[in-house]
Chains A and B, each alone.
Chain A
Amino acid sequence: MQFIYRFSAVCAPRIASRRILALALFVSVAGTVRLDAQTDYYNTDRGRPIQIEDAYVAERYGVELKLAPLRLERARGGVYNWGLEPEIAYGILPRTQIEVGLPLAYREVGTERQSGIAGLELSVMHNLNAETEGWPALGIRADLLAPVGNLAPSRAYPSITGIATRTYAWGRVHLNGKYTAGSSLTGTSASSAGAEELSRWLVGGAVDRTFPLRSTLITAELYGRKPLITGEDVEYNTGAGIRHQFTPTLALDAGLGRRLNGDAPGWYVTFGSSFAFGVSSLFPTGR
Chain B
Amino acid sequence: MKHSMRIGLAGAMLFSAAGTIVAPRAASAQWSRTYEQFYLPGKFNFTFRREYAAADRLFNAFDYGHAILYERLYNNPGAPVSELETDEYDFITKKLLVSPPKLPLEEAAIEINYAKLAPEAKMMFDWAHLLHRQIYDVLASEQMSQADKDAKVAELVAYYKTRRDLAFSSLPKNMDLMESQPYSLAFRQRYPKFNGLIWGYHWLQVGLYEPLMVGRNQEQRQAGVLAAVSRFRQMLDNAPEHMPRVMPMTAAIAPTFAARYQEASIIFDNLHSMHDVVSDILTNNTVVSRSQKRAAILAAASRYRDNTSFLMPLDEWKSMGTMMGIENMGGPAVGFLAGFPTPTLARGASMAEAMKGMAGMQHGAAGAAPMAGMQHGAANSTGMAGMQHGARGMGDSAKAGAAHQMPGMAGMTAMPGMTHGAMGAASDSMSAMHMSSMMQMHERMMRDPVIRERVMADTAMRRMMQGMMDPSMPGMQHDMPGMQHDMTPAAARPSTTRARTTTSRKAASAKTPARSSTARKSPAKTTPAKKAAPAKKAPAKPAPAKPAPMDHSKMPGMNMPGMKP
- Tell me the smallest distance from the CB of B335 to a CB of chain A, in Å: 32
A75 and B103 alpha carbons, distance in the complex (Å) = 39
Report the nearest A residue to B68, measured CB to CB.
A212
A242 and B393 alpha carbons, distance in the complex (Å) = 58
- Tell me the smallest distance from the CB of B493 to a CB of chain A, in Å: 35
- Tell me the smallest distance from the CB of B150 to a CB of chain A, in Å: 13
**In the complex, chain A residues 218-277 whose Cβ is within 8 Å of any chain B Cβ:** 222, 224, 233-234, 236, 245, 247-249, 260-261, 276-277
A249 and B10 alpha carbons, distance in the complex (Å) = 38
Contact of A233 with B3 in the complex, beta carbons under 8 Å? yes
Residues of A contacting B14 with CB < 8 Å? 175, 203-205, 222
Given the contacts A205-B17, A285-B158, A39 and B103 also touching, CB distance less than 8 Å: yes
- Tell me the smallest distance from the CB of B4 to a CB of chain A, in Å: 10
Contact of B37 with A60 in the complex, beta carbons under 8 Å? yes
From A165, A210, A279, contact of B41 by CB (8 A): A279
Residues of B contacting A134 with CB < 8 Å? 24-31
Residues of B contacting A166 with CB < 8 Å? 20-22
**In the complex, chain A residues 197-216 whose Cβ is within 8 Å of any chain B Cβ:** 203-205, 210, 212-215
From A38, A62, A132, contact of B119 by CB (8 A): A132
Contact of B162 with A284 in the complex, beta carbons under 8 Å? yes
Contact of B113 with A169 in the complex, beta carbons under 8 Å? yes
From B13, B42, B115, contact of A205 by CB (8 A): B13
Report the nearest A residue to B63, measured CB to CB.
A212
- Tell me the smallest distance from the CB of A95 to a CB of chain B, in Å: 5
Contact of A168 with B41 in the complex, beta carbons under 8 Å? no
Contact of B105 with A133 in the complex, beta carbons under 8 Å? no
Type the 1/0 row for B108-121, where 1 means its CB is closer than 8 Å to any CB of A.
11101101110110
Given the contacts A36-B46, A60-B38, A278-B38, A285 and B17 also touching, CB distance less than 8 Å: no
- Tell me the smallest distance from the CB of A214 to a CB of chain B, in Å: 8
B479 at the interface (CB under 8 A from A): no
Contact of A130 with B110 in the complex, beta carbons under 8 Å? no
Contact of A164 with B32 in the complex, beta carbons under 8 Å? no
A286 and B159 alpha carbons, distance in the complex (Å) = 5
Type the 1/0 row for B46-64, where 1 means its CB is closer than 8 Å to any CB of A.
1001000000000000001
**In the complex, chain A residues 153-182 whose Cβ is within 8 Å of any chain B Cβ:** 164-169, 173, 175
Contact of A136 with B22 in the complex, beta carbons under 8 Å? yes
Residues of A contacting B22 with CB < 8 Å? 136, 138, 164, 166, 175
A167 and B109 alpha carbons, distance in the complex (Å) = 9
Type the 1/0 row for A180-191, where 1 means its CB is closer than 8 Å to any CB of B.
000000000000
Size band of the interface chain A makes with B: 35 or more
B485 at the interface (CB under 8 A from A): no
Report the nearest B residue to A63, measured CB to CB.
B38
- Tell me the smallest distance from the CB of A37 to a CB of chain B, in Å: 9
Given the contacts A59-B37, A129-B32, A42 and B108 also touching, CB distance less than 8 Å: yes
Residues of A contacting B160 with CB < 8 Å? 286
Q: A131-B116, A287-B158 are in contact. List 13 more A-B contacts (CB 8 A).
A: A94-B35, A127-B35, A129-B33, A130-B32, A133-B30, A133-B113, A134-B28, A134-B29, A205-B18, A212-B109, A222-B13, A233-B3, A248-B104
Which residues in B have some Cβ–Cβ distance to A below 8 Å?
Answer: 3, 6-7, 10-11, 13-14, 17-18, 20-22, 24-43, 45-46, 49, 64, 96, 101-110, 112-113, 115-117, 119-120, 123, 154-155, 158-162, 294
Which residues in A have some Cβ–Cβ distance to B below 8 Å?
Answer: 36, 38-39, 41-42, 59-62, 91, 94-95, 127-136, 138, 164-169, 173, 175, 203-205, 210, 212-215, 222, 224, 233-234, 236, 245, 247-249, 260-261, 276-280, 283-287
- Can you list 10 A-B contacts with CB-CB less than 8 angstroms, sorted by A residue number? A42-B106, A59-B35, A59-B37, A94-B33, A94-B35, A95-B33, A127-B35, A130-B34, A131-B116, A167-B116
Instruction: Give the 9 A-B CB pairs with smallest separation, nearest first.
Output: A134-B29, A166-B21, A62-B38, A278-B41, A286-B158, A210-B109, A286-B162, A212-B109, A130-B119
